[in-house]
Amino acid sequence: MTYTNFTLETDADGFALLTWDMPGKSMNVFTMEVMDEIDAIVDQVVADAAVKGVVFASGKAAFSGGADLTMLKAMFSMIESERASDPEGATKRLFDAAGRMSWLWRKIETCGKPWVAAINGTCMGGATELAMACHARVASNAKSVKIALPEVKVGIFPGAGGTQRMPRLINTQDALQIMTTGQDLTPSRAKALGLINEVVEPDQLIPAAKALLKAGVDPVAPWDKKGFKAPGGTIWSPQGVQLFSAANAILRRETNMNYPGAHTILKCVYEGLQVPFDTALRIEQRYFTAILQTTEAYSMIRSLFVSMQELGKGARRPANIAPTKFTKVGIIGAGFMGAGIAYVTAKAGIPVVLIDRDQAAADKGKAHSEELVKAAIAKGRSTQEQGAQLLSLITATPDYGQLSDADLVIEAVFEDRGIKKVVTEAVEAVLPAGSIYASNTSTLPISGLAENSKRPDQFVGVHFFSPVDRMGLVEVILGEKTGEKAIAVALDYAAAIKKTPIVVNDTRGFYVNRCVFRYIDEAYDMLAEGIPAIMIENAAKFAGMPVGPLSLNDEVAIDLSYKIMKASINDLGEASVKKHHMALIDKMVNELGRLGRKNQKGFYDYPPKPAKKSLWPGLKDLYPQKKPEDVDFAELKQRLLVTIALEAARTVEEGIVTDPREADVGSILGFGFAPYTGGTLSYIDGMGVKTFVALCETLAGKYGEHFAPTPLLKDMAAKGDTFYKRFDPYAAKKAA
């Protein structure tokens, strides 16, 4: 029998090699067709007496990335389309769909013949659950091998037997930590835990798997045998009671209970370990069905899985422009940002010319890459040879002439229009006619900077976030005259350096920084109201933000806030900045010299390590302080999220952001907007625009007009619209 996605070859010993190699795909993923074929293959193997065991392997560089986008989108489309008309029937159909993979893996596990998973490269989600359903597992020791159950990161949990097999294979505490964090495991770590039987050289993967079969692999899972006991002991043992008490507390501390999927992992393990295995799978299936219907799961999967992949694959790229293969990229400005951009470019295998005013400054920029390479080698993430190759791609120089054959030049100098003008003219004097010029400005409008260019159609903004080597977002900003080629090249570059791009139109602060500074501005208002700084910071964390607004301001630098305020006043007038905001930051910077982390004192104090930072005690002396019991903590959380989401809505109304996917993904990757919401616009859609507008009106009545809902929001509320309906990113495809 032949299959589209698999080949099955049986050797003289009766061991069948099942190779998964999906045509036209760079990585194997689970689709309905793949699962149908696995189902048929299990039947074929069971029926064939000549087959004594099966090795499940991949024909690609990775084992599998898990579920396919189309399958997940179809599942959520079913929830959306059927829930209103037939809620009970929709839930039943979702329950059956949610259990398909789980019971298919159970079919493998109980088929009576031993299966061994041969894991190479990435093994994620449902693929890890499949591997655990096999009777033994062998992994390659290649650095590319990563084994994980990362579902919690997109709002769900391992619902194809993951919550039941992992705590029966390894210690319960380790299993809970792995699943609730979604962490990657190396082959050696997986073996030490007991998840993997053997770790071998890449070329020995299949022979080692067959050797295991030859030595004898028990085709009955341990939990299907009488008297089985989980490695972590029983739930009601002293050890088990202590574990789950601590696990609940730790989860609450780490997530503030904003992630239903994470909490449900504990429920599944706790309940599942007390019952027979098939009953445990049914419990997991019920919980998985319930989680799939939560707003958090829907929003997180849409933004952090579907939209991120679509944007990463060039959803906004002009289709009529040929792809760019980069042979050289120039970076002007070897400071922290420019040096970081040079590093990620070289890491992508692209030659880089890193230019600064003199050789010493340029060399200092390259030294940043040298430090990052040393750190990567020390952590085992790179080798000496790989590090040397990366550094060889960076040429540090003050010579602009070396840009004469660059495909793209990125300016990353100070936020000063005069300096940027000089740089633009110097670069264009040597840059090839067809090459693209980009500015990494963080706030200055691109259209204004492009006035210094002789070819504004080839001028584009490419805004990176700090630190460049760790932040996954790139904001591509279109000036009034930016052409399609410039857009395409910027997006090709983002893809080459493995960053997720969003495309926005030109405005002061663009999209991300406009939202960030609204977050910080709200903290200034709260301080002026006398709300204790610790309550502001804690409210932000309880609301789901990774850091509080005062901590974030320290990171971006308080004197930068001062410069931005001064620039706004100069360009837009005194009314563009609240007087008490300017007074606070002027005092912090010019009177107290508190500039942020960069000089070890800002809203926080930064003592020498290993001591941790702490809020500056002098904050409480700046304004009369309210008693904590007089502050509505829940409302603080609302204010911090609403002010950001409202600013995001304004950017849509102004035509700055035109695709809701980019608003959502940009807000999460750019500054960590409460990921459980799915992003700024999903936060609004999730609660309902009508509810959001009412909340804005309440807050505006208490705290000022900056909370007033916009005309667009009022119109959407009246019509029962959502952002993903009004600004449907797939409308063009549907029309075609």
Q: So where are the chain's domains?
A: 6-293, 329-508
Q: State the pLDDT at residue 500.
A: 96
pLDDT computed for residue 97 by the predictor: 87
CA distances from 710 to 241, 389, 514, 716 (A): 52, 53, 16, 10
**Which residue is listed with tokens 């950017």?**
651
**Dist. CA 328–CA 393, nearest whole Å:** 9
Say if strands 198-200 and 500-505 run parallel, antiparallel, or are unpaired. unpaired
pLDDT at 370: 96
Helix-strand-coil percent breakdown of the chain, rounded to 5? 55, 10, 35
pTM comes to 0.91
Q: Answer for the pair 413, 397: CB distance below 8 angstroms, yes or no.
A: no
Q: What is the model's pLDDT at position 516? A: 94
In three-state form (DSSP H/G/I as H, E/B as E, the rest C), the secondary structure along 574-601 is HHHCCHHHHHHHHHHHHHCCCCEHHHCE
**CA dist., res. 456 & res. 450, Å (int):** 5
What is the CB neighbour count within 10 angstroms for residue 67? Answer: 22
pLDDT score recorded for residue 84: 67
DSSP strand E in 468-510: where? 473-478, 500-505
Query: Rounded to an integer, what distance in angstroms lies between the CA atom of residue 30 and that of residue 707?
Result: 45
Q: In 464-502, which positions are buried (b, 16+ CB within 10 angstroms) versus exposed (e)?
A: bbeebbebebbbbbbbebbbebbbbbbbbbbbbbebbbb
Question: Which residue matches tokens 């399609």?
Answer: 484
3-class DSSP state for residue 407? coil
Domain spanning 329-508 has what CATH number? 3.40.50.720
What is the residue-wise DSSP string for 234-289?
A: -TTSHHHHHHHHHHHHHHHHHHTT--HHHHHHHHHHHHHTTS-HHHHHHHHHHHHH
SS3 455: coil
Q: Which amino acid is at 163?
A: T
What is residue 229's predicted lDDT score, i.e. its pLDDT?
A: 92
- Architecture of the CATH domain 6-293: Alpha-Beta Complex (3.90)
User: Which residues carry out catalysis?
Assistant: 463
The residue assigned the tokens 């977002």 is 473
Specify the amino acid at residue 180.
Answer: T
Residues 252 and 245 sit within 8 Å (Cβ to Cβ): no
- The kind and range of the H/E element at 152 are none
The DSSP call for residue 323 is P
Contact in structure between 453 and 461 (CB atoms under 8 Å): no
Token pair 């007009």 is found at 705
**How many other C-beta atoms are found inside a 10 Å radius of the C-beta of residue 429?**
12
CB under 8 Å to 368, separation ≥6 — which residues? Answer: 336, 339, 340, 342, 343
pLDDT at 736 (0 to 100) = 60
Full 3-state SS string of 186-205: CHHHHHHHCCCCEEECHHHH
- The structure tokens listed for 210 are 């067959």
Query: 120 in helix, strand or coil?
Result: coil
- Residue in 441, 577, 444 with CA at minimum distance from that of residue 518: 577
> Which residues share a beta bridge with 396?
354
Which residue in 516, 520, 496 sits closest to 508, CA to CA?
516
Nearest to 405 by CA among 468, 297, 329, 519: 329
Interstrand relation of 436-439 and 394-397 (parallel, antiparallel or unpaired):
unpaired
Chain-centre distance of CA 541, in angstroms?
18
Cα separation, 56 vs 48, in Å, equals 17
Per-block average pLDDT, block size 10, for the chain (736 residues)?
Answer: 94 96 94 95 96 97 86 70 74 88 97 97 95 98 94 93 97 96 95 96 96 96 94 89 92 92 96 97 96 92 91 91 96 94 97 96 96 92 93 97 96 89 95 95 89 95 92 95 96 96 92 95 97 97 96 92 90 91 96 94 94 95 95 97 98 96 96 96 97 98 96 97 94 72
Residue with structure tokens 């459980």? 676
